[in-house]
Amino acid sequence: MLWSLSRRVLWRKAVVVAVTAAVAACGGLTRNNRQSAAPTAQTGPGAQTSDAAQPAAPATRQPAPATAQPAPAQSGDAGQLPPTPACDDGDDPTPPQTAGPFYTPDTPLRTSLLAPGLGGTRLLLTGHVLSTQCAPVAGALLDFWHTDNAGNYDNEGYTFRGHQFADDEGRFTLETIVPGIYPGRTRHIHVRVQAPGQPILTTQLYFPGESGNQGDGIFNPALLVSLQDAPGGTAAQFTFVLDVP
């Protein structure tokens, strides 16, 4: 495990350099909206509450996440990431977390959640989806959702919601903003990750250095992204490890 952690650190540093270069090359973050999935009418929940207190399997909004389909390789920034590092040992799966009450199914297919007038600090989140044997999970579904800059979810539409598929190297790229904070929770991004034909991993990503991390009842340091300042915004990296062959 020690070797594995070291490998992760080294690899993440390599990604940081590559991503920073990619962002700089773009003069900041670029937009790559690729909406295609037809949204379905959603009924938003009532008053927004903390999702930390929600049970692991919330009674409402049960998933039926976007169906995993053969994924076209992601284009654009994903192609500038380094290839998946070679490794031959097992690794710890990414821990699951509650979905909370604000998941909306049938999100648009897109790698950018940016849109005019949304505000916030731009965030470029990149990384890989790997198996416990460190193999890239090509075509893995990643379905992200988070609040706006003020800490509010869009429960009527699809603002800051979208799904995508990892490319053949298991890479993904998400352009969005740093989420806001709402009462009862620290800053976080929700995500569902699913290898084709495999169970769904529902979890959340956290940000280092947040004062609310330690006071958040479900915060897990294993889910911290690595974070760097980047031209035009912030760059973050995370590697999902799925418990699949």
Nearer to Fe ion, 51 or 106 (CB): 51
Tokens describing residue 69: 């389909």
Spatial strand order in the sheet of 161-165: 161-165, 141-145, 188-194, 200-206
Q: With CB under 5 A as the contact rule, which of the stretches 46-54, 84-92, 106-114, 226-234 interacts with Fe ion? A: 46-54
Measured between alpha carbons, how far is residue 201 from residues 74, 77, 149 in Å? 21, 25, 26
Q: With CB under 5 A as the contact rule, which of the stretches 14-22, 45-53, 57-65, 71-79 interacts with Fe ion? A: 45-53
Nearer to Fe ion, 103 or 240 (CB): 103
Nearest distance from C-beta of residue 190 to Fe ion, angstroms: 6
* Residue whose C-alpha is closest to residue 149's, from 105, 114, 184: 114
Q: Are 145 and 203 in contact (CB under 8 A)?
A: no
Q: Which residue is nearest to Fe ion (CB)?
A: 51
Compute how many residues bind Fe ion; rule: CB under 5 A. 2
Interface of this chain with Fe ion, residues 76 to 135, rule: CB under 5 A:
100
Nearest distance from C-beta of residue 100 to Fe ion, angstroms: 5
Q: With CB under 5 A as the contact rule, which of the stretches 28-36, 49-57, 78-86, 163-171 interacts with Fe ion? A: 49-57
Q: How far apart are the first and last CA of the chain?
A: 19
Nearer to Fe ion, 114 or 181 (CB): 181
Residue type for position 131: S
Measured between alpha carbons, how far is residue 98 from residues 36, 42, 52 in Å? 27, 20, 7
Nearest distance from C-beta of residue 67 to Fe ion, angstroms: 24
Nearer to Fe ion, 101 or 139 (CB): 101
Interface of this chain with Fe ion, residues 194 to 233, rule: CB under 5 A:
none
CA distance 164 to 171: 11
Tokens describing residue 147: 């609040």
Nearer to Fe ion, 51 or 143 (CB): 51
Nearer to Fe ion, 51 or 216 (CB): 51
Q: Taking the CA atoms of 7, 9, 11 and 14 in sequence, report the sign of the dihedral they define.
A: negative
Nearest distance from C-beta of residue 200 to Fe ion, angstroms: 17
**Contact positions vs Fe ion (CB under 5 A):** 51, 100
